[in-house]
Amino acid sequence: MKTPLNKFLMAAVTTSFSYTGFEYLFILYPFVKNKKGALKYSIAANTIGVLTYGYVTIMCTIILGPYLIKQFVWPTVTVLKTVDVPVIERLEFIFILLWVGIGVRPLTNQHFEVSYFLMQVMNIKKFKNAAIPPVIRSTIIAAIPQSISETFKYSNYVGILGMGIGVILPVLLLFLSLFFKRSKQK
């Protein structure tokens, strides 16, 4: 509890990438049928994310300790390596198999949103045609980082950008709506 606030904020920048995704709501919101319940469910979804990350962080710190945890790239996988399960032997491989299924979902959501955005902006009629460029873009971007540390460096930038869009954009839109409302009233 003696850790200064600025260190928490510095850590928040690094972890921000994990929380990116809530800004998709700007695109997804028009598709929502039950708009009254949208706020409640989106807060609940984010709370589940926060609690899961919190739980994993606490467990990893308990098992690996504050010194050893810093040495591992993926402490959650390392924690699973410390468990000996009879017959199965390697628990982390099962976890990775499950994670692949879960990890693909944000990727498909992102591609859907980018494709939808392209359809709207570039006036593309067929969704199929709009879906190809994001896949090419992702493949090219995936080939750029030469190491894991470089990938993390880029993911930090994306995290900051995501936070920027997620926080600044709604505030900006709010001000714009207030401004246009007033000018309309005049």
Partner 1 sequence: MKKYRKVMLPFIIISAIFQTGCWDSKALENLNIPIAAGYEIVENTVTNKREMEVYSVIPVFYKKAPEKYIVDITRGDLTGKTRVKRMNHLSEKLSLGSFQIAILGNELSKKGAGDVLDILTRTPEMKSTIPIAIADCDIKDIFQFAPDNYPNVGIYLDALFENAFKKSYIPVSDVYHFNLALNTKGWHAIAPMIRVQGNKIVINKYGIFKEDKMVYDITIPETQILYLLSGNPSMGIWTYDVVLDGLPCTVSVEMNNKTKITVKKEEGTYRIYLIINCKGKIVEIVPNENLESMDKFDEGKLDKFKKEELLKDIEKGYKNYIKSNAKALINKAQNEFEMDIFNWVKFAQAKWRKDIDDLNWDECFTKADIVIDINATINLVGEKI
Of 57 and 109, which has the nearer Cβ to partner 1? Answer: 57
The HSE-up count of residue 23 (CA atoms within 13 Å, CB side) is: 21
What 3-state DSSP class applies to 85? Answer: strand
CB 28 within 8 Å of CB 173: no
- Using the rule CB under 8 A, give the single segment among 19-27, 66-74, 137-145, 161-169 that binds partner 1: 66-74
Phi, psi values for residue 73, rounded to 5°: -75, -45
Tokens of 25: 């709501």
Q: Is 156 in the site for partner 1 (CB under 8 A)?
A: no
Of 3 and 185, which has the nearer Cβ to partner 1? Answer: 3
Q: Is 2 in the site for partner 1 (CB under 8 A)?
A: yes
**In angstroms, how far is CA 29 from the centroid of its own chain?**
18
Q: Is 31 in the site for partner 1 (CB under 8 A)?
A: no
Q: Is 78 in the site for partner 1 (CB under 8 A)?
A: yes
The site for partner 1 (CB under 8 A) is made up of 2, 64-68, 71, 78, 81-84, 86-87, 89-90
